[in-house]
Structure formats: structure tokens, C-alpha cells
Amino acid sequence: MLGVPYAKSLGIDNAHKALARIARCTAGTFAKPKPAKVMRMTTGNWDKEVDVLVVGSGAGGMLSALVAAKNHADVLIVEKAELWGGTSATSGAGIWIPGSDVAKAAGFEDNLDDAFTYLRHLSADNVPDANIRSYVTNAGPMLRWLMGNTDVQYLAFPYPDYHAENPGGSPTGFRTHMPMPIDGKKLGNDVRSLRYASPAASLFGYLNWHFDETYSILYRSKGWQMLLAKSLARYWLDLPFRFTSGKDRRLTLGNALTGGLRMALNRQNVPLWLESPLEELIREDGRVVGALIRHDGKILKIKAKKGVILAAGGFDKNQQMRDENAPLYQTALYSGGVTSNTGDSIRAGQALGAKTLNMQSAWAAPVFYVPGEDRGRLSTIERALPGCIMVNQSGKRFLNEAASYHVVGQIMAKQEKEYGNASPSWMVFDHRYRHNYPMGPLYPLMPDWMHNGAVRSILKKGRTIEELAQKMGVDPKALGDTVRSFNQHAENGEDPEFQRGQAAYDKMYGDPRQAPNPCLRPLDQGPFYAIPIYPGDIGTNGGLLTDDKARVLGNDGQPIGGLYAVGNNAASAMGESYPGAGVTIGPAMTFGYIAARDMLGVND
């Protein structure tokens, strides 16, 4: 997100040019929903016939549908929720693509064998080599196809791999790609039912912004006030649309990706049914030939002559499935996934004898939780900025706060399981931090009283560290000792206990104005603050076992004819690792591209 300062330190001057190009471009509950009264129609003729049925409207599902439609297939997309775009729409929409044309144009010569080595080392042992190789080989062609067939355009960023020090890793980045903004007016009325960006990826919960804008406002670089004023004016003066919708029609990040895909699908006249959940898959003679879909108060029997692609996400919000499968990541409330992700399509595959893999796994993350919200807010930037630390309920640090969110989330979950003192943990910061930077839902320069009551209810404040500790319910002496020890070393830019600020990834989110270490500064200016932070996730990533063509495999190890799965519906090729920004949506789209082509026999 804040790659420019680090890129400059590496001599990557074109990072600013890339960002300048971007700047010029312009919920539910966690319980299973009660089914509506429906008329079940399971016998007789098919109610509708298509070539390809896609279940789910996230990036992986919509891309697979578009590839199929562009290859002359009759396609139908069904979406369980009343909004389309899935978790993809709420995300940053980064995609991890090795060896792309875009990266090459930016001057980065990648090596696919290096990328494979990097992923293979990090991924779980039970993930087949062929799946990883398929992703690495097809990711670049997928991006080329996407940019050639939609309004979605990506730029490669100088964003280091999360474990760039490992063999095959890229410390200079350019495998992570970010989408450029899109004019949502081209979507017409469909923009109203596009999911909003996550509160963690938007300003004030409604204003879409891009990474370069985040950087400018966060560090208050020259002209930041004018940038903010123009953005707010553009939003509020979008008349008369503003009278009837809160949606920002300048689409960025996940809204740009999903919005651009929907525009292309509309040009192909591909229908997308909302509030149309999958009830079950239909199998004849060992092959999936369609599905039962609840739509407009009836259960319709949909024939899919070429097959079904499951792209409906994981089981993030299904508490029962989490309890059964993900012991480290148990709390559905803290997941950043959308509330419709209840694992329906995974269970539908299992009902046919589909095999699953790594169901205990999730895209782990530390999250802030604001009472009353339906999901956790991912913490990315805050932990690496100078002037803060994370402590457990004993008042002690237990990790490198600036590590990737997946690593931090894993450590927090393991700490909670073993010691029961990390959910919540606490982000502790001083007045200088409070004035300069955001901390989850807490905005800098905005007085405490101006934040809503839910945010104020979780914020703790004390004139001294000891007074703060009392309000946190933490031993004052323990927290005081922790802060004093941290400050002593931070003064010199050092963290001998956890090496914060040493890795390439750590520096990405540090403040380049802070020397000698952009991630470290003593907490030495009162008053002091604390806000709870929880071990959470941004989605589960264990699911149906697939092969290198995204075909779902049965318990006998053989493909189930006509059934494919992509995204968090399928067990991730990353295993339980998180190699870099974009290894959630990047594989979802790549295997969606592979699935549609394999289903239709496209070989060129």
C-alpha cells in the first residue's frame, strides 16, 4: 500500500510514475438464513438450460463466466446475496502475478521457476506441485486476457513478497498488481447492488480511494488537503445520484475489479441472478449436469450442459463449520469475509463425494472489531508505523507487529490457543501516533469525541502508561516494564526481541521520515491510548480438492465430471501460507480462467 518510500530506497524511480498514472485515472447475520417458502421443482423437464452455470459473483466467478461467454457459451451466474461482487468487491483487489507483461513493461524481469520455488517452499506439503505450477504458468496469460477483454487495467507495484528473503522471493516486488480506478457510471443501475468496499479500504466508510491517495493523506504530503477536498466534493456533488444512493461511483480497488468485470459481462448479455442460492448439485451417470437454484420463490432446476463452476467463497461466516474444521480460527464474527460466505457450495460438493483439503486453514489476520458491525476490519498499515506496540493481556509483546497480517494472525491465534491471552490483544500507542496516523477505526486529527459511540466504547486512554493499563485490565507494572524496554531499544531503531523493521516487507508500511528504522520510535508522549485487536481472518481457504485444471476431485482421486471449483471454494494452492499481496484473488481469477477454458476445450 505504501510502496513508494521503500521503492525509492531501492532506487525504483518509476514507482512514482506508476502512482501518478493511477492518480490521473479516474450484510446479514452469522446464523444460517431461514429458507423462504418455496415450491420445489425437482422432477420433469429443466426449468432453464445453459452451457455453463457459475455459482458466486466474486472475481473468480465473474472472470470464469466472462471467459466462457467470450468463447460463445451461454452462461448464467447465480449469487446467494442481495449484493454482487463477493469478498472480492470489499478487498484491495491486489493480485499476485509472476512474470506478467505489466511487470516486464515496468522493468522487472521475472523468472517463473523462481516464482514456483518461492511458492513451493511456503505452501503445505499436501498441495500438489502441478497445482502450483499451473497457477504460476497461467497467471500471466490470465492477466493479459483480462486487460484485453475488460475495462480493468492493472499496474505492477514495487511491493515486496511477504517472505522475500526466501529462495525465489522478490524483495523489489512487481509481482503484486493493483487495479486502476474505473468510472462506475458505466454500470448504470447495477452499481447500486455492487457491494461497498470494506470500511478498512474506504474513507469514512463510503469514499473509495486508491493506494496513492492513502499514502498522500496518511503522510500528509504536499497538497493532501486539496486532494481530500476534491475527493469529498466529487462524491457529494455526484447529483442527482447522491439523493438516492450512498455508493461512490468512482470505483477503486475491489470495486474497480468487480465493477469492470460486470461491465464486460453486461456487454456479453450474461445474466446475474441475485438472492439465488445454490440448493444442491444434480449428478447423472457420474457427471454434474446442473443444479437446483432457489430464485424468485421457487426452486428451479437449471441444466448446465458443459458444467458448473463453484466460486461462492469459503465458510467464513458459518460458525458450525468453523468449530468443526478450523480450531485456530473459531470466531466467525471477527472474519473479514462477507456474511453470505457460509460454505453452501463446499457442502454441496461434499454431498456428491467430493474430497476436501486443509479445511483447518484460513487467511489469518489481526482485525479490529467495532461493536455492531458484521465483520472484522483487517489491520495492515497500523502495526508497522512508529510509536505503537501490540501486547497480550499480560501486558507483554509477543511478536513482530510489522510482519505480514497472515503471520501476525497465525501467531495471535496460536498464542490464544496455548495461553488464552491474545483475544483480544491490545494496540498501545502514544499521542504522537494518535495525532499522525490512523489506528483501525480511529482517525488522526479527529478528536475522540467526534468518533461514533461504538468506536469510543473500545478506545482506552490514560495520562500515563500505568493509568492506561488499569483501564485495559492489564497489570500496570508489566505494561510499564514492556514499554520501557521497548523504548530503550527503539530510540536507536532496534528491536532485539522481534527484529521489527528489518525485513523488506516491514519497511513497506513504515514511515520513511522516521530514522534510522521506519517502523520504530519510543512511546514517549502522553496521553497514551489502547484499542483491542483480535486474531481473525479475511476468509477460510481450505475447501474442495481440485487438480491443476480446477476440476473437483472425488474421494477416489478422480475428477467429478462437469464440476469445477475456484477461489475459497477450493483448497488454496498456497496451502496455509500467504506468500504475497494478492495470493487470494490472483489464484481465484487464474483458476477461473483455467476452469472455463478446460470446460469448453479452449486450447489456444
pLDDT tens-digit map of 581-600: 999 999 999 999 999 999 99
CA–CA separation, 587 and 179 (whole Å): 16
What percent of the chain is helix, strand and coil (3-state, nearest 5)? Answer: 35, 20, 45
Which CA distances in Å does 419 have to 394, 397, 534?
A: 10, 14, 14
Work out the average pLDDT over 46-55.
Answer: 97
Residue type, 142: M
Residue 26 confidence (pLDDT): 32
Task: Give pLDDT, residue 44.
Answer: 57
State the pairing for strand pair 287-295/298-310: antiparallel
Which cell numbers hold the place of 140? 500471466
Is residue 25 predicted with pLDDT exceeding 60? no
Q: Tell me which DSSP letter residue 84 carries.
A: B
Residue 516 has pLDDT above 90, yes or no: yes
Residues 6+ apart with CB under 8 A from 601: none
Least confident of 32-41, 71-80, 507-516: 32-41
For the segment 551-589, what is each residue's pLDDT rounded down to a tens digit? 999 999 999 999 999 999 999 999 999 999 999 999 999
C-alpha–C-alpha distance, residues 171 and 151, integer Å: 30
Q: Which residues contact 187 (CB under 8 A, 6 or more apart)?
A: 194, 259, 262, 263, 266
| Whether the predicted pLDDT of 28 surpasses 50 | no
Contact by Cβ (8 Å): 275, 80 = yes
56-64: average pLDDT: 97
Q: Who's near 518: CB < 8 A, 6+ residues apart?
A: 5, 384, 386, 501, 507, 510, 511, 512
Q: What is the pLDDT of residues 454-483, one digit of tens each?
A: 999 999 999 999 999 999 999 999 999 999
Domain regions of the chain by residue span? 3-26+88-267, 365-537
Backbone angles phi, psi at 280, to 5 degrees: -165, 160
Rounded-to-integer distance, Cα 461 and Cα 467, Å: 8
For the ranges 161-165, 198-202, 347-351, the maximum mean pLDDT occurs at 347-351
Question: In terms of pLDDT, which residue wins out, 354 or 227?
Answer: 354
Q: Decide: 187 and 89 in contact? Cβ < 8 Å.
A: no
Taking only the tens place, the pLDDT of each residue in 282-314 is 999 999 999 999 999 999 999 999 999 999 999
Give 152's Cβ-side CA count (13 Å radius): 33
Residues with Cβ within 8 Å of 23's Cβ and at least 6 positions away in sequence, in order, are: 210, 212, 213
pTM confidence score: 0.89
Write down the pLDDT at residue 327.
86
For residue 33, pLDDT over 70 is answered with: no
In the predicted model, what is the mean pLDDT of residues 267-276?
A: 98
pLDDT digits (tens, 9 = 90+) for 87-104: 999 999 999 999 999 999
> pLDDT band at residue 378, thresholds of 50, 70 and 90?
very high
Query: Which is higher by pLDDT, 206 or 66?
Result: 66
CA dist 590 and 582 (Å) reads 12
* pLDDT for residue 1 is more than 80: no
**Per-residue pLDDT, 550:** 98
The per-residue pLDDT for 200 is 72
DSSP class of residue 54 equals E
Cell match 488522526: residue? Answer: 444
Q: What is the CATH T-level fold of the domain 365-537, as seen in this structure?
A: Flavocytochrome C3; Chain A, domain 1 (3.90.700)
What is the average pLDDT value for the chain, to the nearest integer? 90
Are 166 and 118 in contact by the 8 Å Cβ rule? The answer is yes
Alpha helices in 25-149 (DSSP H): 59-70, 86-90, 101-105, 112-122, 129-149
Specify whether the CB–CB gap between 292 and 35 falls below 8 A: no
DSSP-assigned letter for residue 193: G
Q: Report which residue type is found at 263.
A: M
CB contact set of 485 (below 8 Å; sequence gap of 6+)? none
Q: Does residue 10 register a pLDDT over 70?
A: no
Residue 159: per-residue pLDDT: 87
C-alpha cell at 481: 516494564
What is the rounded distance in angstroms from the CA atom of residue 36 to the CA atom of residue 99? 48
What confidence tier does 213 reach under pLDDT thresholds 50, 70, 90? confident
For 3-26+88-267, CATH gives 3.50.50.60
Helix then strand count (H, E) for the chain reads: 19, 24
pLDDT surpasses 70 at 263: yes
Can you spell out the DSSP letters for 493-548?
T--TTT-TT-SHHHHHTS-TTSSS-TT-----SSSEEEEEEEEEEEEE--EE-B-T
